[in-house]
Amino acid sequence: MGLTLDNPFIVSSSSLTDNADKVKKCADAGAGAVVLKSLFEEEIQAEIDASGEGTDHTEAVDYIREIQTGAGIKRYTTLIKDASAAVSIPVIASVNAVTRNWWEQHVPRLEAAGADAIELNISLMPYDYKDSEAAILDFYIKTVESVCKLVSVPVAVKIGFHFTSIPAVVDALKWAGARAVVLFNRFYQLDIDTTNLRLKSGSPMSSRDDLALPLRWITMMYGKTEAELAASSGVHQGDDAVKVLLAGAQVVQVCSTVYKNGYEHLGVMQRELEAWMDGQNFQTIDAFRGRLSQKRSDKPETFERLQYIQALVGQS
């Protein structure tokens, strides 16, 4: 997105990046950039309600208050300022939103606080059968258009994979103003407690098996869209990063593996990537980025049917 990174490893939005000390740990361990823990739209509303400036109380606001995900826009801008002062790597603000009500008043404050870029984590859950796909895509596009008109820093959009056409969505977001698209958002995982007969949270952590989705779509889209592509979900080791870079990713976002292995694992993954590059005689990432994408294949049709063909004929 025009940012200068020493390496492609970005710590994604999470409690790993919710204060300046943790952001510094990421930088010291070798992160190329960080995405700060998301500012939830409901938190802004909670702050407005507390100050007496608004009266729109919702269940979502009460829920956010209960689980104490953070403060509001004032504390978030302080986080941006403190994190930016603590490190020299890019600091990316993150907004988790479900409506467009807040952009004009609040998003410019994130840029003013010193954010190098903004990641829009659009968490729209189409729970109503009346919601058409066209209306949902229109919401994404207009949200991005609105934000990009209000800030001069680059904007990335983190999306889920529940779309009929991922390439069409990515391209639409690019033309709406997004510089990059992050594939894919890891939404809340639902489970059921059969003993106590109630809903419960599933595992929030990704596994290496989750790499298949971003890997598939990045290989398909690299070189066909002007949007830069970031891989998210499933990158746990240096070899995973190699795979998505070969597919065409510009950067990789990591989270679960840092929770499991500590901040120092960022350096481990970077060294694993460098060791692979040395073994393959690659001097730069650009020398092999997208090398195994559909765009650069002499048999592009195999990318669309490969899994089915192998399953049918039993070849590996």
Spans of all domains in the chain: 9-313
Residues in contact with 214: Cβ distance below 8 Å, sequence separation at least 6, in sequence order: 183, 184, 231, 232, 233, 234, 244, 249
Question: What kind of architecture, by CATH, is found in domain 9-313?
Answer: Alpha-Beta Barrel (3.20)
For residue 93, give every residue at least 6 positions away whose Cβ sits within 8 Å of its Cβ, in sequence order, or none: 35, 36, 39, 76, 80, 110, 113, 115, 117, 118, 119
Q: Is the confidence at residue 304, as pLDDT, over 90?
A: no
Phi, psi of 228 (to 5 degrees): -75, 145
**What is the share, in percent, of the chain residues with pLDDT greater than 70?**
82
What percent of the chain shows pLDDT beyond 90? 63
Token pair listed for 195: 């003993």
- Mean of the per-residue pLDDT values of the chain: 86
pLDDT at 309 over 60: no
Dump pLDDT digits (tens) for 219-257.
Answer: 999 999 999 999 999 999 999 999 999 999 999 999 999
Q: How confident is the model at residue 128 (pLDDT cuts 50, 70, 90)?
A: confident
Residue 56 pLDDT exceeds 70: no
Looking at residue 186, its pLDDT comes to 79
pLDDT in tens, 256-297: 999 999 999 999 999 999 999 999 999 999 999 999 999 987
Q: Is 300 helix (H, G, I), strand (E, B) or coil?
A: coil
Q: What is the tens place of the pLDDT at every residue in 20-46?
A: 999 999 999 999 999 999 887 655 545
Instruction: Give the whole-angstrom CA distance, residue 316 versus residue 314.
Output: 7
Whether the CB-CB separation of 181 and 229 falls below 8 Å is answered with yes
Residue 69, pLDDT > 90, answer: no
Higher pLDDT, 152 or 132: 152
The two structure tokens encoding residue 97: 């939103």
How far is residue 311's CA from residue 19's CA, in Å, rounded to a whole number? 47
Tell me the mean pLDDT in the region 188-217: 88
Tell me if 173 sits within 8 A of 181, measured CB to CB.
yes
Question: For residue 275, what are its two tokens?
Answer: 């060791």
| Cα–Cα nearest to 294, from 281, 309, 305, 284 | 305
Mean pLDDT, residues 159-180: 94
Please report the pLDDT score of residue 55 as a whole number.
38
Residues 187, 192, 197, 199: what is their CA dihedral angle, to the nearest 10 degrees? -10
